[in-house]
A and B are shown apart, each in its own frame.
Chain A
Amino acid sequence: MTNTTVINPEAEKRKRISYGMTLLIAGVLMYLFFGVNTQAGSQTTFGLNLLGSQAIPISDLIVPAQTTVYLMVAIIVFAGAYQLARGVRSTGLLFGILALTFTIAFLTWAAQDKSFNLTGMLSSSLVRATPIALAALCGVISERAAVINIGVEGTMLMSAQAAVVVATITKNLYAGLIAAILVGGLVAAFHAFLVIRFKVDQIVSGVAINIFGAGFTSFTSSKFLQSATDTLNNSGTFPIISIPILSKIPVIGPTFFENNIIVYLTLILVVVMHILLFYTPWGLRTRAVGEHPKAADTLGVNVYLMRYVNVIFGGMIAGLGGAYFTIGSVGRFDELMTSGKGFIGLAAVIFGKWNPIGAYASSLIFGFADSLQVKLQILRIPIPSEFLLMAPYIVTMIILTGVVGRAIPPAADGQPYEK
């Protein structure tokens, strides 16, 4: 479908120059901020072992700080010069080089003469990406059937609360997990009912769910949970499950194979959803309903049923994401504890081009930005922590701005279908 794009030589040239200049300027800025401020002879230690992990210990990675930063500057300047002279087809590659070199240079500068645990960073990125990824998967599956669900935030809040309350009362974390998934499905069913049956504006319905969810959970929290923390709001969390043998691999083991059940379920869901969407009749029908509902209807696909099923399934995934916040990480419910993760998940949908694996990959970037600010506060670098806390939101905006022009949503996304 992109093969038919007419290449405009003028625009191509302008794009080549502007991207090349961006990389060169980034290189200069990196030199000025990080290169100048690292002392010759100082070293940065990147820890590769996680405390309490089963992985086979290996020696830490110790690099000369200044040389590393200069190397990164050299790479980015070379990439910029190459782009100016010859042009690189893949803008994703350029973006990747920029992000990678910048991150390495930044971390080397921030942790010079100190130790920075790289494995801890990666494993916490994966964990922090989990709720974002689940919100994103909910978005992918709903929007593939042309229903936008921006009520994920409110859905996750209600699921999070349901999970912890049920788990505390029954003293069974799995009962809490099931409750969260059911609540997620129920809320999504309500959204589907409004937008499919009554053709309510999808964004407005989502906003109403967010407001209702925030109000309802805060109401019940201050009415019941705060005065009865032990009997209603103290569930404990899912234990870490170590996968035998695989968890022994250094770096990869602690990152991927020593997690709780929700993180594993997320990884499985990504793969399952990819297969479902692209290799099964159900996936084909879903995509048809999202791209051209009229044609799908003509061929005998039940458009409304497909939309109901997808939105409710998506809501159940969001419910799982809600469970992560309480029984998956802290074991209690706090008011408004999702703090915008549902919306960041929506940005991950767009950045991931409505594709489960893409959405998961972009969630990892947000998870990385999120855990980076926590780690950097520990390193006490001379940037106020509030600015570090802004990072995930700013990254979301940059990604939305830079990518959405080239990301093409399902053609019927957000539009009600009338027979």
Chain B
Amino acid sequence: MSQTASSKDKKEKTTEGIGGGSLGQALLVPVLAVITGLILGGVVMAASGSNPFQAYAALFAGSFGSPSAIIAGIQTYFATGDNNDLVKSIYPFTESLVTATPYIFAGLSVAIGFRAGLFNIGAEGQFFIGALCSAYIGYSVKGLPMIIHLPLAIGAGALGGAIWGMIPGYLKARFGAHEVVNTIMMNWIAFRLSDWLLKGPMQASNFRPVTPNVLATAELPRFFEAPLRFNLGFFLALLFAYLVYWFLFKTTIGFEIRSVGANPDAAKYAGMNIIKNFVLVMFIAGGLAGLAGTAQVLGVDHWVGQGFSAGYGFDAIALALLGKSHPFGVILSALLFGFLRSGATNMQSIAGIPIDIISIIQGLVIIFIAAPAIIRWLYRIRSLKVEEIVLTRGWGK
């Protein structure tokens, strides 16, 4: 990464938003922001009467697994050919990657919105709608081979999310209704709609409000045997991150989107169609968030229940900001969040810390990322020449 970045000329780098100066400088603020967030999170834990060191140790063990157990597992495998211990020891690590998968998609969704000057808070609703569409195709269409059924289910999820995202995009472009409020309203409508679907038309049995399991032909293939849930979705997410990168930085329409985001007046003056771009960006953003739901339902859960998408939308905002709205930055921050979330479950059961502590840390990280001046002031760092991305501007402009 640093090799490729340094080999490109300076102009190229600034247009990609990784930042002027070296890659290390660009990473400095996000890394310090995360560290500061974790420290303050520890202060909150200590203030609430828990031991932050024990909690973070549990978090680490929950997200990476214990290194000694992994080494022991490998030794047993080579000595006896028995892979039970090895599978058990790498389970936490693969679970973290599994958790990171929808984060990559959802983070890309918010990031592409930021690039166009749109704030997509609706990733949560789009995620839910995408998951429901994929699940529906997954369980209701029968008798297709996997080569057709799986892409069909994935496409349904992407399309569902895309349409859900396009509605606020159109309202913004055509009527100037602010996307922040409208995407939040679309979230609530999606929750109520799913409540109804899960209790009625899409309910599997009369007992629980969940959908039937998707058929085996619509599942994303897993690479290991149960209980490991690591699946094709992770690589699909990486592929899409590359596609978004290519789309944003290597195509004309991507350039238009970034121009509209950087300065809509100039873009309009240059003859770019702002309305078309808003709708297009929200369509793509919705589709990516829908794919996050798809990856979760087809790769991990295989069914959808109530509260399925809880928290993904807000997490996605945090990690898009953390990744500076760059697809590769999003991958890194999604991995970080995957490890945090996955480890937090362990932290909750071992150290008795409610999982909501992660939201507190996220809120703090967003503040530090959005106000690098605070981090610079805290750590006495001189002003960096890092390109700032214009995020939002007021109501309906």
Residues of chain A whose beta carbon lies under 8 Å from any beta carbon of chain B: 148, 150, 194, 198, 200-205, 207-216, 218-220, 222-224, 339-340, 343, 346-347, 350, 384, 386-387, 389-390, 393-394, 396-397, 400-402, 404-405, 409, 413-415
Contacts and interface: CB of A to CB of B under 8 A. Distances in A.
A201 B391 CA distance: 7
A36 to B, nearest CB: 25
Contacts of A347: 181, 185
Contacts of A220: 48
A401 B175 contact: yes
Contacts of B151: none
Interface in B356-377: 356-364, 366-367, 370-371, 373-374
A400 B182 contact: yes
B184 to A, nearest CB: 5
Nearest to A222: B354
Interface string B192-227: 110110011000000000000000000000000000
Contacts of A205: 367, 370-371
A346 B394 CA distance: 13
Given A211-B363, A212-B362, 6 more contacts: A200-B370, A214-B356, A215-B362, A222-B354, A387-B192, A413-B394
Interface of B: 44, 48, 119, 121, 171, 175-178, 180-182, 184-186, 188-189, 192-193, 195-196, 199-200, 314, 317-318, 321, 353-354, 356-364, 366-367, 370-371, 373-374, 391-396
B83 to A, nearest CB: 38
Nearest to B168: A397
B395 A415 contact: no
Contact of B360 (A215, A389, A397): A215
Given A198-B373, A390-B188, A394-B189, A211 B318 contact: yes
A205 B396 CA distance: 18
Given A200-B371, A204-B366, A384 B200 contact: yes
26 contacts: A148-B394, A198-B373, A201-B392, A202-B392, A203-B391, A207-B121, A208-B367, A208-B370, A210-B363, A211-B318, A213-B363, A214-B359, A218-B359, A220-B48, A340-B184, A389-B195, A393-B185, A393-B188, A397-B177, A397-B186, A400-B178, A401-B175, A404-B175, A404-B176, A404-B177, A409-B396
B177 A400 contact: yes
Contacts of B321: 204
A288 B364 CA distance: 33
- Most chain-B CB neighbours within 10 Å: which of A218, A400, A409? A400
- Most chain-B CB neighbours within 10 Å: which of A194, A200, A339, A346? A200
A200 B372 CA distance: 9
A387 B196 contact: yes
Question: Which 10 pairs across A and B sit closest by C-beta, in order of nearness?
Answer: A215-B359, A212-B363, A414-B394, A386-B196, A219-B356, A208-B366, A218-B356, A211-B363, A222-B354, A203-B392
Contacts of B177: 397, 400-401, 404
A223 B354 contact: yes
A401 B192 CA distance: 21
A389 B188 CA distance: 9
Q: Is the interface of A mostly helix, strand, loop or mixed?
A: helix
A216 B188 CA distance: 21
Given A211-B363, A212-B360, A223-B48, A389 B181 contact: no
A215 B317 CA distance: 15
Contacts of A209: 363
A396 B189 CA distance: 11
Nearest to A211: B363
Nearest to A205: B370
A202 B362 CA distance: 17
- Most chain-B CB neighbours within 10 Å: which of A223, A347, A413? A223
B195 A343 contact: no
